[in-house]
A and B are shown apart, each in its own frame.
Chain A
């Protein structure tokens, strides 16, 4: 790992091949500090580390490849433009996610404005909570699928959720933000986040159970 000489301010090329994203524990704080001090190679390392997660989130929320690319660009351009304002009260990634979610929701609203229900549609409390599939899963069912197959299954499952549930699930259970951070990013109350999360989790459980349940357990009943 080479770091630039202490006083250098590099505005050089952002080379995609320069440094592969670091896997394992990633300490964003020093990179953020360097980027704030004007070191663009540090900013580009942040981009290369987080772009895939921002892009995935954008795709999951907008469900449209072109919109997702716009969201990806807008997010990092805004992050770059406003990095000087980033106070470090939250994690840089949390801040980035908040920008990305706003961009993605704006896209989604634009697309949906001509039709159907608004994003913050009132949540139906009855039907969504119903549990139909009660069956134990196979031992490690996910291993019956290739990485790509499993990836598609999970993506489809998430995309089948209503947007109001989907965004909450993505932030909390895929991006692993806290309930509070999720509430803040989506401008929702804690209790709204929790109730949407519950429905999202139960609906996904239902879908995956249909695929992953132990064979022969179709008539599974305890009572």
Chain B
């Protein structure tokens, strides 16, 4: 690879780098850059942590009143339409 790797390029590839979807050659080149460039190391590290914090965020339960209205609406629909029937191939 002849292209000079700059911090800008690293930034552009960051998403694929974090998602591990780069081909191994590019990945190891970026890896080398991260190890040598303190700024990119920090950016990479803190972006990784950012994603981790969000992944750990659990959804709060739906407020009871809202869940009740949802289940009521469903029951109403079920009463109107009857239970789901899988489409059967025409005989």
Contact = CB atoms under 8 A, between A and B. Distances in A.
B46 A81 contact: no
A interface majority secondary structure: helix
Contacts of B21: 179
Contacts of A137: 45-46, 49
B71 A44 contact: yes
Interface string A182-210: 00000000000010011001101100110
Interface stretch (A11-19, A93-101, A107-115, A116-124): A11-19
Interface in B1-27: 11-12, 14-16, 18-19, 21
B78 A40 contact: yes
B62 A194 contact: no
Interface in A1-31: 9, 11, 13-16, 21
A84 B51 contact: no
Interface residues of A, number: 59
B32 interface: no
Contacts of A165: none
Nearest to B68: A16
Given A73-B73, A76-B73, 17 more contacts: A11-B79, A13-B75, A14-B75, A16-B68, A51-B67, A52-B61, A53-B59, A72-B62, A76-B70, A76-B74, A77-B73, A134-B43, A137-B49, A150-B57, A194-B16, A198-B11, A201-B47
Interface of B: 11-12, 14-16, 18-19, 21, 38-39, 42-43, 45-47, 49-51, 53-57, 59-62, 64, 66-71, 73-75, 77-79, 81-87
9 contacts: A40-B78, A52-B59, A52-B60, A55-B62, A76-B70, A150-B53, A174-B57, A198-B12, A204-B54
